[in-house]
Amino acid sequence: MLEFLPVYLQVIVGGLLLGALYALIASGLNLIFGVLRVINICHGELMMLGAYAAFGLFALWNVHPLLSIPVTFALLFLLGILIEKTLVERVAGAPELSSLLLTFGIGIILTSAAMNAFKADFRSVPALTGSILLWEIALPRARLASFVTALVITGGAYLFLKRTRAGKAIRAASQNALVAETCGIDVARVRLFAYGLGAGMAGAAGNLIALSYSFNPEVGHVFNLKAFAIIVLGGMGNFAGAFWGGLLLGVVEGLTGYFATAQVVDAVAYLLMLLFLLFRPSGLMGAAK
C-alpha cells in the first residue's frame, strides 16, 4: 500500500496545480456575479482570448507568457469594460435569464471570431518546458509557474478587495447595491470596474493556460461550465469560496482521471455541481446574499 503513496501524492499535487488555475478563473466569475448579479457565461471565452493574446505576443516578439500578463490583463480589462458598458448594462434590472442569454451570445460571437482569426487548430506556447523533481513527485515547470502565478494574482485580487478603498466599494456593492448607493458609492461605476477586473483576471488565466496547456477557440466552453460549477461549490458570489472550490475541483478531477478514464473527468464537474445545487445550494463557504 505504502509504495503507492507517491502516486497518490503525484495525482493530488497535479490536481492542486490545475486547481489554482480554476480558482483564478472562478474568482473572477464570482466577482462579477457578486456585484452585477450576472452569470457571465462568456467568461471562458474571455480567458480564451487571453490565451491567444499571450500566444500572439510570444509568436511575434517572443514575449514570455509570464511577462505578458500585465498586457493581456489590461487588454481584457478594456474589452470587459466595453462589453459591460455597451451590452451588459442594457439588461441591468431585466430578469436574470436576459443577462445569461446575453453573455451566452457574446461567448458564441467571441468563439466564432477566434475560429475565423486563428482556425480550430490547437496551439501552445512552449516557453517553459521540463519538470523538477521534488522527493519523488514530478512537477512540470510550466504548471508550477502557472500555479504560483495564479495564487499570486488571486491573492492580490483578494487583498485589493479587502484593503483598498475601491475594493471596499466593490464589496459593499456586492453585499447590497441599494445601501451602497445611499452611502455615496457610484454603483454603476463599480459594476463597470468589477466586470473589467473579472475579465482581466480571465485574461491573465489565459496566459497561464497558454503556458501549460494546448488550446483552441473552443476551450472557453469547457472552462465556462467548470467555472460555474466551482462557484456553485464554493458559494455564489463568495470570492474565497471560489478559491477553495477551484482547488477542490482540481484535486477531484485529478483523482477521477487516475481511477477512471480521462473522458469521465469532464463529467465530474457537472455531477459535483448538480449535487451541490440540490443538496447544498449555498456552497462550501456560504453564498453571498
Partner 1 sequence: MKESRLPVALASLAVLAALFAYAALASPYLIAAGFTIVLFVTLSASWNLVSGYTGYVSFGHVVFFGIGAYTASLLATKGGLGWPAATLGAASAAAVLALVLGSITLRLKGAYFAIAMLGASEAVRVAASTWESLTGGGSGITLPNILSPRGAFLLLGITALGTIVLTYVVAQSRFGLHLLAIREDETGAEAMGVAATRAKTAAFVLSAVPAGIAGAANAWHINYIDPESTFPMLLTIQMIVMTMLGGGGTVLGPVVGALLLGLAGEFLWARFPFVHLGLYGLLIVGIVIFIPEGLLPRLMARGILPRTRRL
Chain residues that interact with partner 1, rule: CB under 8 A: 39, 41, 87, 90-91, 94-98, 100-102, 104-113, 115-116, 221, 225, 228-229, 232, 261, 263-264, 266-267, 269-271, 273-274, 277-278, 281
Residue (104 or 258) nearer to partner 1, CB = 104
In the complex, minimum distance from the CB of residue 216 to partner 1, in angstroms, rounded to a whole number: 12
In the complex, minimum distance from the CB of residue 245 to partner 1, in angstroms, rounded to a whole number: 15
Residue (65 or 234) nearer to partner 1, CB = 234
Q: What's the Cα-to-Cα distance from 206 to each of 11, 66, 86, 223, 264, rounded to whole Å?
A: 23, 11, 24, 11, 24
In the complex, minimum distance from the CB of residue 33 to partner 1, in angstroms, rounded to a whole number: 10
Query: Which grid cell is 221?
Result: 466552453
In the complex, minimum distance from the CB of residue 144 to partner 1, in angstroms, rounded to a whole number: 29
Distance between CA 267 and CA 101 in Å, rounded? 23
Question: Which residues neighbour 112 within 8 Å (Cβ) at sequence distance 6 or greater?
Answer: none
Distance between CA 254 and CA 258 in Å, rounded? 6
In the complex, minimum distance from the CB of residue 74 to partner 1, in angstroms, rounded to a whole number: 25
In the complex, minimum distance from the CB of residue 156 to partner 1, in angstroms, rounded to a whole number: 29
Residue (4 or 259) nearer to partner 1, CB = 259
Q: What's the Cα-to-Cα distance from 103 to each of 84, 97, 117, 160, rounded to whole Å?
A: 10, 10, 21, 26
Query: Which grid cell is 8?
Result: 497518490
Residue (58 or 228) nearer to partner 1, CB = 228
| 6-34 burial: b if 16+ Cβ within 10 Å, else e | eeeebbbbbbbbbbbbbbbbbbbbbbbbb
Nearest to 138 by CA among 126, 146, 130, 128: 130
In the complex, minimum distance from the CB of residue 161 to partner 1, in angstroms, rounded to a whole number: 24
Residue (22 or 73) nearer to partner 1, CB = 22
Residue (40 or 146) nearer to partner 1, CB = 40
Residue (12 or 87) nearer to partner 1, CB = 87
Three-state SS across 123-139?
ECCCCCCCEEEECCEEE
In the complex, minimum distance from the CB of residue 199 to partner 1, in angstroms, rounded to a whole number: 17
Residue (39 or 173) nearer to partner 1, CB = 39
